[in-house]
Structure 1
Amino acid sequence: MPEGSRVVVITGASGGVGRATAREFASRGDRVALLARGEEGLAGAAEDVRQAGGTPLEIPVDVADFDGVDGAAERVEEEFGAIDVWINNAFTGVFAPVSRIGPDEFRRVTEVTYLGYVHGTKAALARMLPRDRGTIVQVGSALAYRGIPLQSAYCAAKHAIQGFHESLRCELLHDGSGVATTMVQLPALNTPQFEWVLSRLPRHAQPVPPIYQPEVAARAVARAADRPRPREYWVGGSAMQTILGNRLVPGLLDRMLARSGYSSQQIDEPRPGEPANLWEPADRSGGRDYGAHGSFDERGRAVSLQQWAARRSGRLGAAALGGSAAAGVLAWRLVRRTRRLPR
């Protein structure tokens, strides 16, 4: 293996952000353990890693099963050596109003999207803490701060991850640990989730524009793994605006989302049929490898200006630049929209 290569574990590695992130680390010559349920997607991800210059290890596992995740971590260390980076990314969700999501569906989303992160983190800590080194990256979302309509189960799980991450970070700082954790808050992305997430919407679900390509997220996750000491990274101007807007005027955002949140999450096409990946991997029935990208390539942005500034101006300068720009854009948009809101 190339000198300086690392052992990286990625959950939810068979598609979307996880798939793109696997390629990003593989391009550095890293050994990449790929954890996911879907065997077709895992096989495709493994081939991507090989093509990019890394060494893959496919491990089929449901992150809702702690014993399975812990066993996967044990296998990684047996075959690759000590885990350097653990990336929690696996998720599922339901597109529907709260009234149309069953209790069992809320439970399943929570078990995968929140407890899956807990399970991955605990498996990583059990091996990293005795060595006093390692990095855990939690792949988050602007929706960890701002709930939106039609995604209540997912938003709730991301909020829970945010609280979990903050508690863990405080504990690691208290102990003076060499283990680091950080969180990457992502914008809307062109991933296959809009083809495979269980939906009860009348039309095809879409990411709330602007839409970024999954490689934007992958570069941010890799950067966070390289420099994990900041408590979190915000990716994309839209994520920054959402987080800042929720801090400044959350009640106004409630009304704005009540007005536009349904239409902005759907396009004028029929919703996809089954399979949905809530209970089993979407590639199981059709034998399809969904890859990293969804069906919105024509609208996907390959670069984030905010991320570009972060790489070139330093974290604090980029934060100031991005924060000022986001605050200005947010204020302008709110002034324009306030008069049109329902009373």
Structure 2
Amino acid sequence: MRRPRPRALPKHGRAVVVTGASGGVGRATALAFAARGDRVALLARGREGLAAAADDVQRAGGEALAVPVDMADAKAVEDAAQQVADTFGHIDIWVNNAFAGILAPFTEISPDEFRRVTEVAYLGYVFGTRAALRHMLPRDRGTVVQVGSALAYRGIPLQSAYCGAKHAIQGFNESLRCELLHRGSGVRTTMVQLPAVNTPQFDWVLNRLPGRARPVAPVYQPEVAARAIVHAAGHGRRREYWVGSSTAATLIANAVAPGVLDRYLARTAFEAQQDGGVAEAPMGAGNLWTPADGPHGRDFGAHGRFDEESRQGGPQQWLSRNRTRLGRTVALGAGALAARRLTRLARR
């Protein structure tokens, strides 16, 4: 016997957890939830960034709880989730977004470095999801949002560790989604596949390229990603959202002609991930082993150095959010045309 459908989450004042919330997409997402009046728990390692993010959340109209935690530490993540539940009473939404990465050829990445990226960018999502489900399943309600990337389907050169993590998240999330559907659970999980985003990560990522690291154009502002994540959190029945026309184009091209895309990226993606400047290494290993703001006492915020070229959105976001409605409209239109044609044929 199927369980009754759980009542919808309240539109405002929800208890939300955002990992990787001290900067970039996580920071923008926390502010987007705060603007709705939600209570937002901010999870990240960097205390300077967390403190600044908490202030921003409060000014945006939300309630903030800053929890320093390394997402690669499963026990620490469980403890952080319990702290959130003790403070807010429960957890309605959990957004997995924590990041670590390396820009380098695979042969120039050490085993320990590769393992560390995997622990943060993949296992951090696994541990976060597990902690969220511990609090959501007994209530039979809640949504877990996995922040992904076009790279969850299409690997590119120089980011083997990160691409591997995103591919792993995709498979893990699909497996979990099937299990939740099988048990008739009211808990939802969905994934948001992002394009290149203008975040500070390109100034703190471990970079072994001759030029300064940059995202592959076109680049979108982090608020575009944040809006999609907030929407996905309120519509968890959808299995996946694509953000940006470049994400859609990449995933379609990879499905149709992956071998051609291999050769295209081999020719273009090395230069596309570097700008004209000489690579700088002000933070050594970047944020791989320690938070980027730790020894520097600096808040990086949500935006990187690519504001002038970054896009604020586009029609693809509307199409992604309204895919079901659009599909029904197209189907009705096609049905009407077919019926009219059949009527004309019957009269002959």
Give the TM-score normalised by structure 1: 0.91
Quick one: which amino acid aligns to residue 284 of structure 1? Answer: G
2:317 corresponds, among 277, 294, 307, to 307
Within the alignment, does 1:13 sit opposite 2:21 as a pair? yes
Q: Tell me: CA distance 1:43–1:319, structure 2 relative to 1, closer, same or farther (3 Å).
A: farther
Matches within 5 A, 1:147-226: 147-226=155-234
> What secondary structure, in the 3-state scheme, does the structure 1 residue paired with 2:17 have?
strand
1:61-114 Cα shifts (integer Å, max 9, x gaps): 000001100000000011111100000000100000001000000000000000
Q: Structure 1, residues 237-260: CA drift from partner, whole Å, max 9, x if none?
A: 000011111110000000000000
Pairing partner for 1:124 from 125, 132, 152: 132
Q: Given the alignment of the two structures, is residue 278 of structure 1 paired with residue 273 of structure 2, yes or no?
A: no
RMSD of the alignment, in Å?
Answer: 1.6
- CA–CA distance in structure 1, aligned partners of residues 293 and 320 of structure 2: 36
Q: CA deviation at 1:3?
A: 8.0
Other-structure match for 1:341? none
Q: Can you give the 5+ residue segments of structure 2 that lack an aligned partner in the other structure?
A: 1-9, 331-348
Do structure 1's residue 61 and structure 2's residue 69 form an aligned pair?
yes
Cα distance in 1 for partners of 2:160, 2:205 equals: 13
State the structure with more CA Rg: 2
Tell me how far apart the structure 1 counterparts of residues 106 and 213 of structure 2 sit (CA, whole Å).
Answer: 16
2:273 to 256, 265, 282: 265
2 CA distance for matches of 1:240 and 1:319? 20
Whole-angstrom distance in 1 between the partners of 2:280 and 2:78: 34
Shift of 1:272: 2.9
Deviation at 1:309, TM superposition (A): 3.3
Question: Which residue is 2:260 aligned to?
Answer: 252
Structure 1 runs, 4 residues or longer, greater than 6 Å off? 318-321
Of 114, 122, 141, the match for 1:114: 122
Secondary structure at 2:94 match in 1: strand
- Give the number of equivalent residue pairs: 319
Question: Which one-letter code corresponds to 1:93 in the other structure?
Answer: G
Quick check: 1:99 aligned with 2:107? Answer: yes
What is the identity, as a one-letter code, of the residue corresponding to 2:294?
R
SS of residue matched to 1:225: helix
Aligned to 2:335: none
Deviation (angstroms), 1:319:
11
Alpha-carbon distance, 1:310 to partner: 3.8
- 2:92–2:143: 8 Å Cα contact kept in structure 1? yes
Identity %: 65
Alpha-carbon spacing, 1:27–1:319, altered in 2? closer, same or farther (3 Å): farther
Distance 1:190 1:3 in 2: 29
Residue pair 1:184, 1:221 contacting (<8 A) in 2 also: yes
Rounded Cα–Cα distance in structure 2 between residues aligned with 1:320 and 1:257: 37
Deviations 1:259-306, CA, capped at 9 Å, x for gaps: 001011110012232310000001011111000000000001011220
Structure 1 residues 180, 16: CA separation in 2 closer, same or farther (over 3 Å shift)? Answer: same
2:326 to 311, 314, 317: 317
Equivalent position of 2:94 in the other structure: 86
- Relative to the length of structure 2, the TM-score reads 0.89
Separation (CA, whole Å) in 2 of partners of 1:319 and 1:246? 27
2:85 to 61, 77, 80: 77
